[in-house]
Structure 1
Protein backbone atom coordinates (compact mmCIF):
# COMPACT_ATOMS: atom_id res chain seq x y z
CA UNK A 1 0.00 0.00 0.00
CA UNK A 2 1.31 3.46 -0.94
CA UNK A 3 0.29 6.51 1.09
CA UNK A 4 1.19 10.19 0.60
CA UNK A 5 0.19 12.66 3.33
CA UNK A 6 0.52 16.40 3.87
CA UNK A 7 -0.99 18.97 6.24
CA UNK A 8 -1.12 22.63 5.24
CA UNK A 9 -2.99 25.33 7.21
CA UNK A 10 -5.01 22.72 9.07
CA UNK A 11 -6.04 20.87 5.91
CA UNK A 12 -4.86 17.29 6.18
CA UNK A 13 -4.84 15.58 2.81
CA UNK A 14 -3.65 12.14 1.84
CA UNK A 15 -3.74 9.78 -1.10
CA UNK A 16 -3.96 6.00 -0.60
CA UNK A 17 -3.23 3.43 -3.29
CA UNK A 18 -3.49 -0.30 -2.65
CA UNK A 19 -3.39 -3.09 -5.27
CA UNK A 20 -4.82 -5.62 -2.79
CA UNK A 21 -7.74 -5.48 -0.37
CA UNK A 22 -7.43 -5.18 3.41
CA UNK A 23 -9.54 -4.72 6.54
CA UNK A 24 -8.93 -2.06 9.22
CA UNK A 25 -10.56 -0.75 12.37
CA UNK A 26 -10.87 3.04 12.54
CA UNK A 27 -11.07 5.08 15.73
CA UNK A 28 -14.00 7.52 16.25
CA UNK A 29 -13.63 10.80 14.37
CA UNK A 30 -15.68 13.14 16.55
CA UNK A 31 -13.34 16.13 16.13
CA UNK A 32 -12.98 15.82 12.36
CA UNK A 33 -15.01 15.26 9.23
CA UNK A 34 -13.35 13.15 6.57
CA UNK A 35 -14.13 14.05 2.96
CA UNK A 36 -13.37 11.13 0.60
CA UNK A 37 -13.03 10.92 -3.16
CA UNK A 38 -12.99 7.36 -4.50
CA UNK A 39 -10.99 7.44 -7.72
CA UNK A 40 -11.16 3.66 -8.10
CA UNK A 41 -11.95 0.57 -6.05
CA UNK A 42 -14.60 0.13 -3.37
CA UNK A 43 -14.94 0.69 0.38
CA UNK A 44 -17.37 -0.96 2.83
CA UNK A 45 -17.92 0.91 6.11
CA UNK A 46 -19.36 -1.09 9.02
CA UNK A 47 -20.60 0.82 12.07
CA UNK A 48 -22.40 -1.58 14.40
CA UNK A 49 -25.00 -3.42 12.30
CA UNK A 50 -24.97 -0.75 9.56
CA UNK A 51 -23.04 -1.19 6.34
CA UNK A 52 -22.39 1.49 3.71
CA UNK A 53 -20.71 0.78 0.37
CA UNK A 54 -18.93 3.40 -1.74
CA UNK A 55 -17.67 2.71 -5.26
CA UNK A 56 -15.46 4.41 -7.84
CA UNK A 57 -16.37 8.05 -8.46
CA UNK A 58 -18.13 8.49 -5.11
CA UNK A 59 -17.56 11.54 -2.92
CA UNK A 60 -18.70 11.14 0.67
CA UNK A 61 -18.15 12.42 4.19
CA UNK A 62 -17.49 10.40 7.32
CA UNK A 63 -17.52 11.52 10.94
CA UNK A 64 -18.51 8.59 13.11
CA UNK A 65 -18.56 8.86 16.90
CA UNK A 66 -18.24 5.06 17.06
CA UNK A 67 -15.46 2.62 16.29
CA UNK A 68 -16.01 1.32 12.77
CA UNK A 69 -14.52 -1.33 10.53
CA UNK A 70 -13.45 -0.60 6.99
CA UNK A 71 -13.06 -3.14 4.19
CA UNK A 72 -11.05 -1.94 1.20
CA UNK A 73 -11.38 -3.75 -2.10
CA UNK A 74 -8.43 -4.28 -4.44
CA UNK A 75 -7.17 -1.57 -6.82
CA UNK A 76 -8.03 1.13 -4.30
CA UNK A 77 -7.21 4.74 -5.19
CA UNK A 78 -8.67 7.32 -2.81
CA UNK A 79 -8.02 10.91 -1.74
CA UNK A 80 -9.08 11.93 1.78
CA UNK A 81 -9.17 15.37 3.39
CA UNK A 82 -9.64 15.98 7.13
CA UNK A 83 -11.71 18.98 8.16
CA UNK A 84 -11.73 20.12 11.79
CA UNK A 85 -15.16 20.48 13.39
CA UNK A 86 -14.13 23.75 15.08
CA UNK A 87 -13.09 25.19 11.69
CA UNK A 88 -16.50 24.24 10.31
CA UNK A 89 -18.30 25.77 13.28
CA UNK A 90 -16.43 29.06 12.97
CA UNK A 91 -17.01 29.14 9.21
CA UNK A 92 -20.75 28.56 9.69
CA UNK A 93 -20.93 31.33 12.28
CA UNK A 94 -19.33 33.76 9.86
CA UNK A 95 -21.73 32.75 7.08
CA UNK A 96 -24.93 32.84 9.10
CA UNK A 97 -24.24 35.17 12.00
CA UNK A 98 -25.50 32.43 14.35
CA UNK A 99 -23.51 30.07 16.53
CA UNK A 100 -24.13 26.43 15.65
CA UNK A 101 -24.58 24.33 18.77
CA UNK A 102 -23.14 20.83 18.56
CA UNK A 103 -21.43 19.06 15.70
CA UNK A 104 -21.91 19.88 12.05
CA UNK A 105 -23.39 16.68 10.62
CA UNK A 106 -23.27 15.73 6.95
CA UNK A 107 -25.49 13.31 5.06
CA UNK A 108 -25.19 11.36 1.81
CA UNK A 109 -24.26 13.26 -1.35
CA UNK A 110 -26.57 12.27 -4.25
CA UNK A 111 -24.54 10.07 -6.64
CA UNK A 112 -23.79 11.37 -10.14
CA UNK A 113 -25.21 14.77 -9.17
CA UNK A 114 -23.87 18.28 -9.89
CA UNK A 115 -23.02 18.45 -6.17
CA UNK A 116 -20.86 15.35 -6.39
CA UNK A 117 -19.12 16.67 -9.50
CA UNK A 118 -18.41 19.95 -7.72
CA UNK A 119 -16.90 18.13 -4.73
CA UNK A 120 -14.73 16.00 -7.05
CA UNK A 121 -13.35 19.23 -8.52
CA UNK A 122 -12.55 20.55 -5.03
CA UNK A 123 -10.82 17.30 -4.05
CA UNK A 124 -8.80 17.25 -7.27
CA UNK A 125 -7.72 20.85 -6.67
CA UNK A 126 -6.68 20.05 -3.10
CA UNK A 127 -4.74 16.97 -4.11
CA UNK A 128 -2.99 18.84 -6.90
CA UNK A 129 -2.02 21.78 -4.70
CA UNK A 130 -1.06 20.01 -1.48
CA UNK A 131 0.00 16.46 -2.30
CA UNK A 132 1.94 17.32 -5.45
CA UNK A 133 4.01 19.83 -3.45
CA UNK A 134 3.33 22.75 -5.80
CA UNK A 135 4.36 26.35 -5.01
CA UNK A 136 0.72 26.93 -4.03
CA UNK A 137 1.31 24.89 -0.88
CA UNK A 138 3.81 27.54 0.30
CA UNK A 139 1.61 30.58 -0.42
CA UNK A 140 -0.33 31.40 2.80
CA UNK A 141 -3.00 33.57 1.18
CA UNK A 142 -3.61 31.04 -1.59
CA UNK A 143 -3.86 28.16 0.90
CA UNK A 144 -6.23 30.18 3.08
CA UNK A 145 -8.44 30.71 0.02
CA UNK A 146 -8.24 27.00 -0.78
CA UNK A 147 -9.31 26.21 2.77
CA UNK A 148 -12.26 28.59 2.47
CA UNK A 149 -13.21 26.99 -0.83
CA UNK A 150 -13.18 23.53 0.77
CA UNK A 151 -15.25 24.58 3.79
CA UNK A 152 -17.68 26.50 1.60
CA UNK A 153 -18.07 23.60 -0.84
CA UNK A 154 -18.85 21.20 1.99
CA UNK A 155 -21.49 23.52 3.46
CA UNK A 156 -23.06 24.28 0.08
CA UNK A 157 -22.80 20.89 -1.65
CA UNK A 158 -23.07 18.26 1.12
CA UNK A 159 -26.52 17.91 2.72
CA UNK A 160 -26.11 18.89 6.37
CA UNK A 161 -27.90 19.82 9.58
CA UNK A 162 -27.05 23.51 9.23
CA UNK A 163 -30.01 23.97 6.89
CA UNK A 164 -32.49 22.20 9.15
CA UNK A 165 -35.45 24.14 10.66
CA UNK A 166 -34.55 26.08 13.78
CA UNK A 167 -31.16 27.16 12.48
CA UNK A 168 -31.79 28.98 9.22
CA UNK A 169 -32.65 32.67 9.23
CA UNK A 170 -36.30 33.75 8.94
CA UNK A 171 -37.54 34.15 5.40
CA UNK A 172 -36.85 37.48 3.71
CA UNK A 173 -37.61 38.99 0.31
CA UNK A 174 -36.14 37.02 -2.57
CA UNK A 175 -34.21 40.02 -3.89
CA UNK A 176 -32.63 40.61 -0.47
CA UNK A 177 -31.65 36.93 -0.23
CA UNK A 178 -30.08 37.12 -3.69
CA UNK A 179 -28.15 40.23 -2.66
CA UNK A 180 -26.90 38.47 0.49
CA UNK A 181 -25.84 35.40 -1.50
CA UNK A 182 -24.03 37.53 -4.07
CA UNK A 183 -22.12 39.45 -1.41
CA UNK A 184 -21.11 36.25 0.43
CA UNK A 185 -19.91 34.65 -2.81
CA UNK A 186 -17.96 37.71 -4.00
CA UNK A 187 -16.82 39.46 -0.81
CA UNK A 188 -13.14 38.95 -1.72
CA UNK A 189 -13.64 40.79 -5.03
CA UNK A 190 -13.94 44.56 -5.62
CA UNK A 191 -17.72 44.58 -6.19
CA UNK A 192 -19.96 47.67 -6.43
CA UNK A 193 -23.49 48.22 -5.17
CA UNK A 194 -24.59 48.29 -8.82
CA UNK A 195 -23.25 44.73 -9.18
CA UNK A 196 -25.25 43.66 -6.12
CA UNK A 197 -28.43 45.22 -7.49
CA UNK A 198 -27.91 43.51 -10.84
CA UNK A 199 -27.56 40.15 -9.07
CA UNK A 200 -30.72 40.81 -7.01
CA UNK A 201 -32.84 41.45 -10.10
CA UNK A 202 -34.36 44.76 -8.94
CA UNK A 203 -33.32 48.43 -9.30
CA UNK A 204 -30.63 49.66 -6.91
CA UNK A 205 -32.81 52.18 -5.06
CA UNK A 206 -35.55 49.59 -4.55
CA UNK A 207 -32.99 47.09 -3.27
CA UNK A 208 -31.47 49.62 -0.87
CA UNK A 209 -34.85 50.30 0.71
CA UNK A 210 -35.80 46.60 0.89
CA UNK A 211 -32.40 45.61 2.26
CA UNK A 212 -32.40 48.18 5.05
CA UNK A 213 -35.97 47.28 5.97
CA UNK A 214 -35.05 43.56 6.17
CA UNK A 215 -31.62 43.84 7.84
CA UNK A 216 -31.33 47.28 9.41
CA UNK A 217 -28.14 47.85 7.38
CA UNK A 218 -27.18 49.42 4.10
CA UNK A 219 -25.62 47.28 1.38
CA UNK A 220 -22.20 48.85 2.02
CA UNK A 221 -22.44 48.30 5.78
CA UNK A 222 -23.46 44.67 5.32
CA UNK A 223 -20.67 43.93 2.84
CA UNK A 224 -18.10 45.61 5.09
CA UNK A 225 -19.26 43.53 8.06
CA UNK A 226 -19.03 40.32 6.03
CA UNK A 227 -15.43 41.20 5.18
CA UNK A 228 -14.60 42.09 8.77
CA UNK A 229 -16.00 38.74 9.93
CA UNK A 230 -13.87 36.91 7.36
CA UNK A 231 -10.85 38.91 8.51
CA UNK A 232 -11.54 37.86 12.10
CA UNK A 233 -11.85 34.23 10.98
CA UNK A 234 -8.39 34.46 9.37
CA UNK A 235 -6.80 36.25 12.33
CA UNK A 236 -8.08 33.64 14.81
CA UNK A 237 -7.41 30.61 12.59
CA UNK A 238 -5.13 28.36 14.71
CA UNK A 239 -3.58 26.82 11.60
CA UNK A 240 -2.37 30.12 10.10
CA UNK A 241 -0.28 32.99 11.47
CA UNK A 242 -0.74 35.88 9.01
CA UNK A 243 0.27 39.49 9.41
CA UNK A 244 -2.56 41.93 10.05
CA UNK A 245 -1.75 43.70 6.78
CA UNK A 246 -2.09 40.42 4.81
CA UNK A 247 -5.57 39.85 6.17
CA UNK A 248 -6.65 43.46 5.71
CA UNK A 249 -5.54 43.57 2.06
CA UNK A 250 -7.05 40.16 1.39
CA UNK A 251 -10.50 41.41 2.38
CA UNK A 252 -10.36 44.73 0.58
CA UNK A 253 -9.14 47.11 3.32
CA UNK A 254 -6.32 49.16 1.79
CA UNK A 255 -6.09 51.59 4.73
CA UNK A 256 -4.74 49.72 7.78
CA UNK A 257 -5.74 52.42 10.25
CA UNK A 258 -9.31 52.37 8.96
CA UNK A 259 -9.32 48.56 9.06
CA UNK A 260 -8.10 48.53 12.68
CA UNK A 261 -10.66 51.15 13.74
CA UNK A 262 -13.60 49.36 12.12
CA UNK A 263 -12.42 45.98 13.43
CA UNK A 264 -12.28 47.32 16.99
CA UNK A 265 -15.74 48.88 16.64
CA UNK A 266 -17.14 45.55 15.44
CA UNK A 267 -15.42 43.13 17.84
CA UNK A 268 -14.22 45.18 20.80
CA UNK A 269 -10.54 44.48 20.21
CA UNK A 270 -7.84 45.45 17.74
CA UNK A 271 -6.75 43.01 15.00
CA UNK A 272 -3.37 42.47 16.66
CA UNK A 273 -5.16 41.68 19.94
CA UNK A 274 -6.98 38.84 18.16
CA UNK A 275 -3.64 37.52 16.96
CA UNK A 276 -2.07 37.73 20.41
CA UNK A 277 -5.04 35.97 22.02
CA UNK A 278 -4.69 33.11 19.55
CA UNK A 279 -0.95 32.79 20.17
CA UNK A 280 -1.47 32.64 23.95
CA UNK A 281 -4.52 30.38 23.92
Structure 2
Protein backbone atom coordinates (compact mmCIF):
# COMPACT_ATOMS: atom_id res chain seq x y z
CA UNK A 1 0.00 0.00 0.00
CA UNK A 2 1.14 3.58 -0.65
CA UNK A 3 1.05 4.40 3.08
CA UNK A 4 3.73 1.75 3.66
CA UNK A 5 6.14 3.20 1.11
CA UNK A 6 9.26 4.97 2.40
CA UNK A 7 8.95 8.77 2.53
CA UNK A 8 5.20 8.59 1.97
CA UNK A 9 4.86 12.20 3.17
CA UNK A 10 7.06 13.30 0.27
CA UNK A 11 5.06 11.83 -2.62
CA UNK A 12 5.94 13.33 -6.04
CA UNK A 13 3.85 11.38 -8.52
CA UNK A 14 1.98 8.19 -9.32
CA UNK A 15 1.10 7.28 -12.89
CA UNK A 16 0.44 4.51 -15.40
CA UNK A 17 1.62 6.61 -18.37
CA UNK A 18 5.18 6.11 -19.65
CA UNK A 19 5.70 9.68 -20.90
CA UNK A 20 4.50 11.18 -17.63
CA UNK A 21 6.78 8.93 -15.58
CA UNK A 22 9.76 9.78 -17.77
CA UNK A 23 9.04 13.52 -17.53
CA UNK A 24 8.62 13.46 -13.74
CA UNK A 25 11.77 11.41 -13.10
CA UNK A 26 13.79 13.62 -15.44
CA UNK A 27 12.91 16.66 -13.32
CA UNK A 28 14.89 15.34 -10.36
CA UNK A 29 17.53 13.22 -12.11
CA UNK A 30 18.23 13.76 -15.81
CA UNK A 31 16.75 13.24 -19.26
CA UNK A 32 16.62 9.55 -20.22
CA UNK A 33 14.98 6.93 -22.37
CA UNK A 34 12.31 4.75 -20.76
CA UNK A 35 11.00 1.64 -22.54
CA UNK A 36 8.49 -0.99 -21.46
CA UNK A 37 9.64 -4.61 -21.82
CA UNK A 38 7.91 -7.97 -22.15
CA UNK A 39 4.80 -6.74 -23.91
CA UNK A 40 3.65 -4.50 -21.05
CA UNK A 41 1.56 -1.48 -22.07
CA UNK A 42 1.19 0.40 -18.81
CA UNK A 43 3.24 1.27 -15.76
CA UNK A 44 2.43 1.36 -12.09
CA UNK A 45 5.06 4.01 -11.44
CA UNK A 46 5.43 6.16 -8.31
CA UNK A 47 8.11 8.25 -6.63
CA UNK A 48 8.58 9.81 -3.19
CA UNK A 49 11.52 12.16 -2.60
CA UNK A 50 12.84 14.61 0.00
CA UNK A 51 15.53 17.18 -0.81
CA UNK A 52 18.20 17.90 1.84
CA UNK A 53 20.62 20.55 0.65
CA UNK A 54 23.01 18.81 -1.72
CA UNK A 55 21.39 15.40 -1.22
CA UNK A 56 18.01 13.92 -2.11
CA UNK A 57 16.61 10.76 -0.56
CA UNK A 58 13.79 8.95 -2.26
CA UNK A 59 12.02 5.73 -3.13
CA UNK A 60 10.39 4.67 -6.37
CA UNK A 61 9.16 1.87 -8.59
CA UNK A 62 8.00 1.54 -12.19
CA UNK A 63 5.59 -1.34 -11.57
CA UNK A 64 6.54 -3.00 -14.88
CA UNK A 65 9.58 -4.51 -16.54
CA UNK A 66 11.43 -1.50 -17.97
CA UNK A 67 14.72 -0.45 -19.51
CA UNK A 68 16.11 2.96 -18.53
CA UNK A 69 18.98 4.59 -20.43
CA UNK A 70 20.07 7.90 -18.85
CA UNK A 71 23.49 7.96 -20.49
CA UNK A 72 25.88 10.04 -18.35
CA UNK A 73 24.43 11.64 -15.23
CA UNK A 74 26.77 14.64 -15.48
CA UNK A 75 26.42 16.54 -12.22
CA UNK A 76 25.38 13.98 -9.62
CA UNK A 77 26.02 10.54 -8.15
CA UNK A 78 23.12 8.11 -7.80
CA UNK A 79 23.02 5.35 -5.19
CA UNK A 80 20.28 2.72 -5.38
CA UNK A 81 19.24 -0.21 -3.22
CA UNK A 82 16.26 -2.44 -4.09
CA UNK A 83 14.16 -3.43 -1.09
CA UNK A 84 12.11 -5.61 -3.43
CA UNK A 85 12.83 -7.10 -6.84
CA UNK A 86 16.08 -6.64 -8.76
CA UNK A 87 17.76 -4.60 -11.49
CA UNK A 88 20.53 -5.29 -14.00
CA UNK A 89 22.93 -2.35 -14.25
CA UNK A 90 25.40 -1.71 -17.08
CA UNK A 91 27.64 1.21 -16.11
CA UNK A 92 30.56 2.00 -18.38
CA UNK A 93 32.47 -1.28 -18.70
CA UNK A 94 31.12 -2.62 -15.42
CA UNK A 95 28.00 -4.63 -14.72
CA UNK A 96 26.15 -5.55 -11.52
CA UNK A 97 22.87 -7.03 -10.40
CA UNK A 98 21.21 -4.88 -7.76
CA UNK A 99 19.23 -6.76 -5.10
CA UNK A 100 18.28 -6.24 -1.48
CA UNK A 101 21.77 -7.59 -0.66
CA UNK A 102 23.76 -5.41 -3.07
CA UNK A 103 23.20 -1.78 -3.97
CA UNK A 104 24.80 0.14 -6.83
CA UNK A 105 26.53 3.51 -7.18
CA UNK A 106 26.45 5.37 -10.51
CA UNK A 107 29.26 7.83 -11.25
CA UNK A 108 28.51 11.03 -13.22
CA UNK A 109 30.79 10.35 -16.19
CA UNK A 110 30.04 6.72 -17.10
CA UNK A 111 27.15 5.88 -19.47
CA UNK A 112 24.42 3.79 -17.87
CA UNK A 113 21.71 1.39 -18.96
CA UNK A 114 19.40 -0.36 -16.48
CA UNK A 115 16.69 -3.00 -16.53
CA UNK A 116 14.30 -3.03 -13.57
CA UNK A 117 12.00 -5.94 -12.82
CA UNK A 118 8.29 -5.20 -12.44
CA UNK A 119 8.49 -5.75 -8.68
CA UNK A 120 11.65 -3.64 -8.23
CA UNK A 121 11.18 -1.02 -5.50
CA UNK A 122 14.28 1.02 -4.64
CA UNK A 123 15.66 3.39 -2.09
CA UNK A 124 17.60 6.07 -3.99
CA UNK A 125 20.09 8.72 -2.87
CA UNK A 126 21.11 11.53 -5.23
CA UNK A 127 24.29 13.42 -4.25
CA UNK A 128 25.38 16.59 -6.02
CA UNK A 129 28.79 16.16 -7.58
CA UNK A 130 30.17 19.46 -6.27
CA UNK A 131 29.12 18.64 -2.71
CA UNK A 132 30.94 15.31 -2.74
CA UNK A 133 34.05 16.91 -4.25
CA UNK A 134 33.97 19.62 -1.56
CA UNK A 135 33.72 16.98 1.16
CA UNK A 136 36.63 15.01 -0.28
CA UNK A 137 38.70 18.19 -0.61
CA UNK A 138 38.21 18.85 3.08
CA UNK A 139 39.16 15.29 4.00
CA UNK A 140 42.34 15.65 1.93
CA UNK A 141 43.32 18.78 3.83
CA UNK A 142 42.01 21.26 1.27
CA UNK A 143 43.62 19.69 -1.80
CA UNK A 144 41.40 20.02 -4.91
CA UNK A 145 39.43 16.85 -5.58
CA UNK A 146 37.88 16.09 -8.96
CA UNK A 147 36.70 13.07 -10.91
CA UNK A 148 35.76 10.76 -8.04
CA UNK A 149 35.02 7.31 -9.50
CA UNK A 150 33.52 4.68 -7.19
CA UNK A 151 33.08 0.95 -7.64
CA UNK A 152 29.66 0.14 -9.10
CA UNK A 153 28.62 -2.59 -6.65
CA UNK A 154 27.83 -1.85 -2.99
CA UNK A 155 27.50 -5.23 -1.24
CA UNK A 156 25.53 -4.91 1.99
CA UNK A 157 28.12 -5.92 4.49
CA UNK A 158 30.17 -4.03 7.04
CA UNK A 159 30.33 -0.28 6.51
CA UNK A 160 28.05 -0.24 3.46
CA UNK A 161 25.33 -2.14 5.32
CA UNK A 162 25.56 0.52 8.04
CA UNK A 163 25.46 3.24 5.37
CA UNK A 164 22.16 2.03 3.97
CA UNK A 165 20.74 1.50 7.48
CA UNK A 166 21.53 5.18 8.09
CA UNK A 167 19.62 6.08 4.90
CA UNK A 168 16.68 4.08 6.24
CA UNK A 169 16.82 5.90 9.57
CA UNK A 170 16.99 9.22 7.72
CA UNK A 171 13.86 8.30 5.75
CA UNK A 172 12.08 7.43 8.99
CA UNK A 173 13.13 10.73 10.59
CA UNK A 174 11.92 12.66 7.54
CA UNK A 175 8.57 10.91 7.61
CA UNK A 176 8.27 11.85 11.29
CA UNK A 177 9.16 15.54 10.69
CA UNK A 178 6.80 18.14 9.22
CA UNK A 179 7.83 19.48 5.80
CA UNK A 180 10.46 22.20 6.13
CA UNK A 181 11.00 21.50 9.83
CA UNK A 182 13.56 18.71 9.83
CA UNK A 183 15.29 18.14 13.14
CA UNK A 184 18.98 18.92 13.79
CA UNK A 185 19.63 15.18 13.67
CA UNK A 186 18.22 15.07 10.14
CA UNK A 187 20.39 18.03 9.07
CA UNK A 188 23.49 16.17 10.28
CA UNK A 189 22.77 13.03 8.24
CA UNK A 190 24.01 14.60 5.01
CA UNK A 191 27.61 15.13 6.13
CA UNK A 192 27.73 11.81 7.97
CA UNK A 193 26.65 9.97 4.82
CA UNK A 194 29.13 11.83 2.59
CA UNK A 195 32.07 11.17 4.93
CA UNK A 196 31.18 7.52 5.40
CA UNK A 197 30.70 6.97 1.67
CA UNK A 198 34.12 8.43 0.86
CA UNK A 199 35.80 6.48 3.65
CA UNK A 200 34.31 3.08 2.90
CA UNK A 201 33.12 2.70 -0.72
CA UNK A 202 36.18 1.85 -2.89
CA UNK A 203 37.14 4.64 -5.29
CA UNK A 204 40.13 6.09 -7.12
CA UNK A 205 40.78 8.22 -4.01
CA UNK A 206 40.73 5.39 -1.46
CA UNK A 207 44.52 5.07 -1.25
CA UNK A 208 44.98 8.82 -0.77
CA UNK A 209 42.33 8.91 1.94
CA UNK A 210 43.91 5.98 3.74
CA UNK A 211 47.32 7.60 3.59
CA UNK A 212 45.95 10.95 4.74
CA UNK A 213 43.93 9.60 7.62
CA UNK A 214 46.25 6.75 8.66
CA UNK A 215 43.10 4.83 9.48
CA UNK A 216 39.48 5.73 10.06
CA UNK A 217 38.94 8.87 12.09
CA UNK A 218 37.27 8.27 15.47
CA UNK A 219 33.58 8.97 15.86
CA UNK A 220 34.07 12.22 17.79
CA UNK A 221 36.09 13.69 14.89
CA UNK A 222 33.49 12.69 12.32
CA UNK A 223 30.64 13.99 14.48
CA UNK A 224 32.33 17.38 14.78
CA UNK A 225 33.03 17.43 11.02
CA UNK A 226 29.35 16.78 10.35
CA UNK A 227 28.33 19.51 12.80
CA UNK A 228 30.71 21.99 11.16
CA UNK A 229 29.38 21.19 7.68
CA UNK A 230 25.79 21.70 8.86
CA UNK A 231 26.49 24.91 10.80
CA UNK A 232 29.35 26.60 8.94
CA UNK A 233 27.19 29.70 8.40
CA UNK A 234 26.82 30.21 12.16
CA UNK A 235 29.33 31.53 14.74
CA UNK A 236 31.30 28.50 15.96
CA UNK A 237 33.64 28.44 18.93
CA UNK A 238 35.94 25.72 20.16
CA UNK A 239 33.63 25.32 23.16
CA UNK A 240 30.77 24.53 20.77
CA UNK A 241 32.85 21.88 19.01
CA UNK A 242 34.06 20.32 22.25
CA UNK A 243 30.45 20.06 23.45
CA UNK A 244 29.40 18.31 20.24
CA UNK A 245 32.39 15.94 20.35
CA UNK A 246 31.76 14.61 23.86
CA UNK A 247 35.51 14.47 24.54
CA UNK A 248 38.01 16.89 26.05
CA UNK A 249 39.43 19.79 24.02
CA UNK A 250 42.81 18.09 24.12
CA UNK A 251 41.39 14.85 22.69
CA UNK A 252 39.49 16.79 20.02
CA UNK A 253 42.59 18.73 18.90
CA UNK A 254 44.67 15.55 18.87
CA UNK A 255 42.04 13.71 16.83
CA UNK A 256 41.91 16.44 14.19
CA UNK A 257 45.70 16.79 14.12
CA UNK A 258 46.24 13.06 13.66
CA UNK A 259 43.41 12.22 11.27
CA UNK A 260 42.82 15.48 9.39
CA UNK A 261 46.13 17.29 9.69
CA UNK A 262 44.52 20.54 10.86
CA UNK A 263 42.98 22.00 14.01
CA UNK A 264 39.18 21.99 14.41
CA UNK A 265 38.98 25.74 13.77
CA UNK A 266 41.21 25.42 10.70
CA UNK A 267 38.74 22.82 9.46
CA UNK A 268 35.96 25.38 10.00
CA UNK A 269 37.86 27.84 7.81
CA UNK A 270 38.35 25.20 5.11
CA UNK A 271 34.63 24.43 5.02
CA UNK A 272 33.75 28.12 4.84
CA UNK A 273 36.28 28.62 2.05
CA UNK A 274 34.56 25.87 0.08
CA UNK A 275 31.23 27.57 0.68
CA UNK A 276 32.65 30.83 -0.69
CA UNK A 277 33.82 29.01 -3.81
CA UNK A 278 30.41 27.42 -4.33
CA UNK A 279 28.78 30.86 -4.08
CA UNK A 280 31.28 32.37 -6.54
CA UNK A 281 30.66 29.50 -8.94
CA UNK A 282 26.90 30.11 -8.68
CA UNK A 283 26.69 33.89 -8.09
CA UNK A 284 23.55 35.84 -7.38
CA UNK A 285 22.83 39.23 -8.92
CA UNK A 286 25.10 41.86 -7.41
CA UNK A 287 27.54 39.40 -5.80
CA UNK A 288 31.10 40.63 -5.39
CA UNK A 289 34.13 38.85 -3.98
CA UNK A 290 34.13 41.18 -0.98
CA UNK A 291 30.45 40.66 -0.23
CA UNK A 292 30.65 36.87 -0.48
CA UNK A 293 33.86 36.66 1.54
CA UNK A 294 32.51 38.80 4.39
CA UNK A 295 29.22 36.85 4.37
CA UNK A 296 31.30 33.81 5.34
CA UNK A 297 33.39 35.61 7.95
CA UNK A 298 36.52 36.48 5.95
CA UNK A 299 37.28 40.11 6.71
CA UNK A 300 41.05 40.20 6.03
CA UNK A 301 40.60 40.17 2.27
CA UNK A 302 44.27 40.02 1.30
CA UNK A 303 44.87 36.98 3.46
CA UNK A 304 41.59 35.44 2.28
CA UNK A 305 42.57 35.84 -1.39
CA UNK A 306 45.97 34.24 -0.79
CA UNK A 307 44.46 31.26 1.03
CA UNK A 308 41.79 30.88 -1.65
CA UNK A 309 44.38 30.81 -4.42
CA UNK A 310 46.48 28.26 -2.54
CA UNK A 311 43.46 26.00 -2.07
CA UNK A 312 41.83 26.28 -5.51
CA UNK A 313 44.62 27.35 -7.87
CA UNK A 314 43.00 30.64 -8.90
CA UNK A 315 41.99 33.92 -7.30
CA UNK A 316 38.41 34.46 -6.13
CA UNK A 317 37.92 37.17 -8.76
CA UNK A 318 38.99 34.70 -11.47
CA UNK A 319 36.38 32.23 -10.21
CA UNK A 320 33.68 34.89 -10.29
CA UNK A 321 34.64 36.06 -13.80
CA UNK A 322 34.50 32.51 -15.13
CA UNK A 323 30.90 32.22 -14.04
Global fold match (TM > 0.5): yes
After superposition, give the CA deviation of every residue in 1:176-215 in whole Å (9 maximum; x if it has no partner): x968x74344354642897365589xxxxxx69xx69x96
SS, match of residue 99 in structure 1: coil
The CA distance in 2 between the partners of 1:144 and 1:195, in whole Å, is: 25
Q: Which moved more, 1:229-238 or 1:121-130?
A: 229-238
The CA distance in 1 between the partners of 2:78 and 2:95, in whole Å, is: 17
Q: CA deviation at 1:231?
A: 4.0
User: Over the residues paired in the alignment, what is the CA RMSD in angstroms?
Assistant: 4.4
Q: CA deviation at 1:82?
A: 1.1
**Correspondence for 1:164 among 207, 211, 215:** 207
TM-score (normalised: structure 2): 0.57
The CA distance in 2 between the partners of 1:171 and 1:49, in whole Å, is: 31
Taking the TM superposition and a 5 Å limit, the aligned residue runs for 1:242-257 are none
Structure 2 alignment gaps of length 5 or more: 1-44, 228-239, 280-293, 307-315
Asked if the contact 1:5–1:13 (Cα under 8 Å) also holds between the matched residues in 2, the reply is yes
Question: Which residue in the other structure is 2:248 paired with?
Answer: 195
Q: Which has the higher contact order (CA 8 A, sep 6+)?
A: 1
In the alignment, structure 1 residue 94 sits paired with structure 2 residue 138: yes
The CA distance in 2 between the partners of 1:120 and 1:141, in whole Å, is: 20
Taking the TM superposition and a 5 Å limit, the aligned residue runs for 1:92-131 are 92-108=136-152, 111-130=155-174
**Correspondence for 2:197 among 154, 157, 162:** 154
The CA distance in 1 between the partners of 2:178 and 2:274, in whole Å, is: 24
SS, match of residue 120 in structure 1: helix
Structure 1 alignment gaps of length 5 or more: 201-206, 239-256
The CA distance in 1 between the partners of 2:278 and 2:158, in whole Å, is: 30
Alignment: residue pair count:
238
TM-score (normalised: structure 1): 0.65
Taking the TM superposition and a 5 Å limit, the aligned residue runs for 1:52-91 are 52-63=96-107, 65-91=109-135
Taking the TM superposition and a 5 Å limit, the aligned residue runs for 1:2-41 are 2-41=46-85
